[in-house]
Amino acid sequence: MIIVDTREQKPLWSVKDYDIIRRKLDEGDYTTECLFNLAHAERKSAIDFYGSLVQGHERFVREINRAIEKDLDFAIFVECSEKKFINKRFEGGIRLKMPAVTLAKIVKTFQEHYPIAVFWCKNREDMKIKMAMWFLEQETKHKLIKVGV
């Protein structure tokens, strides 16, 4: 069963197609019933990710730090390729003034500084597949931990 944060405005999965629970999540937008408080995923459009890295950095970092403090496995899924993101070739990106080289450094520093995975996704369908695969990997990892392997 997939848990979707109540504040998530554009859920990846539909309640008519999947077993979904809407529940407030303090970190991330998605998890599964068995991964609740173990592994959470954050969905970002390219412009949202840019805003989180550049304009809303403090709020975003607080969320990530809460996840780290709780020892959550945390991943960010961005609906854009890394190359298109860096070159600001996404909806709303053309008006952004930051040079690509600076944005590339920010992304690199962010990924080096925080122990979280960032998945670059071609579109929403690719994001659904990558997130589902990540959840399966996390479920396997946490089952191995529980049995002491």
CATH value at residue 80: 3.40.50.10130
Of 128, 147, 140, nearest to 29 by C-alpha is 128
Q: pLDDT per position in the chain (149 positions), as tens? A: 999 999 998 899 887 778 899 999 999 999 999 999 999 999 999 999 999 999 877 888 999 999 999 999 999 999 999 999 999 999 999 999 999 999 999 999 999 999 899 999 999 999 999 999 999 999 999 885 655 55
Q: Does some domain include residue 148?
A: no
Q: Does some domain include residue 149?
A: no
Q: What is the pTM of this model?
A: 0.92
By residue range, what is the domain housing residue 39? 2-142
Amino acid at 51: G
18: DSSP letter: S
Q: Is 79 helix (H, G, I), strand (E, B) or coil?
A: strand
Q: Does some domain include residue 129?
A: yes
Contact (Cβ atoms closer than 8 angstroms) between residue 84 and residue 136: no
Q: Does some domain include residue 80?
A: yes
Q: Does some domain include residue 147?
A: no
Report how far residue 7's alpha carbon sits from residue 4's, in angstroms, rounded to the nearest whole number. Answer: 8
Of 15, 92, 17, 108, nearest to 50 by C-alpha is 92
Q: Does some domain include residue 72?
A: yes
Tally of structural domains, the chain? 1
Report how far residue 119's alpha carbon sits from residue 58's, in angstroms, rounded to the nearest whole number. Answer: 21
